[in-house]
Amino acid sequence: MRCKACKNEIPAGSVFCMFCGERVARERKTQDKIKIPSPRQLPSGKWRMELRAEGMSGTFDSRREAEVWAREVRVQYIANGKKRIPTLSEAIDEYIETRSNILSPATIRGYRIIQRARFTEYMPKPVNAPVDWQRAVNDEVKLCSPKTLKN
């Protein structure tokens, strides 16, 4: 390996040149370290941990419990591979499927109409895509009833 500044030969893996002192390579952080967000302390004294990539959250009695839980979930998430984020239309399908035995047929029909005719610009986008929902709702309120918009 050669120094870019003075062109002298230096040992492989060196961060600084032995001759001119110039930085040769960036120091690498450990790639195997699993990163987790910091838990937040709630007014009740409990700790809340949110893992957005996994779509999970939890409340714990201590900070340590929250960190251990988050690390375990993140390890499983990495081991199983990242899941595909569903589109808004697929999320509505899942919602209807999980509640099909408790929703009335009229409600399900209403949800299907919303899925087909409302928010057409946003239906093919992933659920976690950055969307200005207030603008989207303001655009839809002109076209439908308040009950439809609420659903």
pLDDT per position in the chain (151 positions), as tens?
788 888 888 887 777 887 888 887 765 555 567 788 999 999 999 999 998 878 788 899 999 999 999 988 888 887 777 666 788 888 899 999 999 889 999 999 988 988 898 888 888 888 878 888 888 888 888 888 888 788 7
pLDDT for the residue 48? 94
DSSP-based three-state secondary structure for 146:
helix
Residue 124 in contact with residue 89, Cβ under 8 Å? yes
pTM of the complete model: 0.46
Q: What is the pLDDT of residue 29?
A: 56
pLDDT of residue 27: 53
Residue 49: phi, psi to the nearest 5?
-125, 130
Report the pLDDT value the prediction gives residue 83, as an integer from 0 to 100.
Answer: 67
Q: Helix, strand or coil for residue 89?
A: helix
Task: Show the tokens assigned to 121.
Answer: 């610009």
